[in-house]
Amino acid sequence: MLRSGSTVVGTQDFSLPGPNGGLLPPVDTGSGVGFTSIEIRVLSPATGSISVVGPTSTFYLANKICGGETITNTSTDGTASSGQVTATFHFDAAPTVCKSYTFFQASANDAGTKSVTFLSQDLAGAHMLATFDWGLTPYCRPDATPDPAHPGAPVCSTTTVDSGSGPVDQSFCAPFSAGPPPSGGATAATPWCTTSKHFDYVTDPANSSVTLVHITETWDGLGDVIYRRR
């Protein structure tokens, strides 16, 4: 039920499978009238409802991750030659500390960009650990150190990271240590940094005459982030 003040301007039925599954469909009142609040009525119990009120007509229903918890997402759009991207985030905080997130997705394909997107609540000092399995990449060598076993391979592309100010090349840091005093890991100036990067040479599952590279990375960071590989 959509309201503009006390006036109901539209209703819309939808299904949310499972306790955290499903997405709200696009909402259109059909009259051009804006709305300022949403009331979500559940079928069971019949008296149950959730009201969401905001200054604009944009609302988000969010999942949450609490201290000590780990969430994982694996792409479904990869192929045999590209592999799937798997991303894991771990919230390094006390169990009583939670942060909401509105979007978490990994994506992979042969022709375009592989990416991981994690959009979360801005929680000052929230320390996250991440692991990315980028699947399979065309034949290349590490971008930092020449590989004597593969001297003719081109340099692998660099992962970029976007914390809200546009994409920049990944930077590297020592793993976070709680201290005392705390050391290593992300900082306010570098909110996400790579703590390790691993390359394995493998045979293309779709063509035994082709060699590919399997790349995995671990990261340390704070806040929202979008990662990409080309």
**Do 83 and 99 belong together in one domain?**
yes
**Do 153 and 70 belong together in one domain?**
yes
**Do 54 and 147 belong together in one domain?**
no
**Do 83 and 193 belong together in one domain?**
yes
The domain boundary, picked from 31, 59, 87, lies at 59
Domain span at residue 220 reads 63-229
The domain boundary, picked from 59, 92, 107, lies at 59
**Do 126 and 19 belong together in one domain?**
no
Q: What is the pLDDT of residue 106?
A: 92
Q: State the Cα–Cα distance between residues 76 and 196, nearest whole angstrom.
A: 25
Q: What is the pLDDT of residue 18?
A: 45
Closest by Cα among 219, 222, 120, 225 to 167: 225
Q: What is the pLDDT of residue 196?
A: 93
Task: Give the angle 197-201-206 at the CA atoms, nearest 5°.
Answer: 125
Q: What is the pLDDT of residue 19?
A: 45
**Do 193 and 225 belong together in one domain?**
yes
The domain boundary, picked from 42, 59, 76, lies at 59
Per-residue burial over 155-177, b if 16 or more Cβ lie within 10 Å, else e, is ebbbbbbbbeeeeeebeebeebe
**Which residues does the chain have with pLDDT short of 70?**
1-7, 9-62, 110-112, 178-182, 230
**Do 44 and 91 belong together in one domain?**
no
Q: What's the domain count of the chain? A: 2
Q: What is the pLDDT of residue 51?
A: 54
**Do 49 and 146 belong together in one domain?**
no
**Do 28 and 92 belong together in one domain?**
no
Q: What is the pLDDT of residue 118?
A: 86
**Do 38 and 84 belong together in one domain?**
no
Q: What is the pLDDT of residue 57?
A: 47
Q: Which one-letter DSSP state was computed for residue 144?
A: S
**Do 38 and 98 belong together in one domain?**
no
**Do 100 and 208 belong together in one domain?**
yes
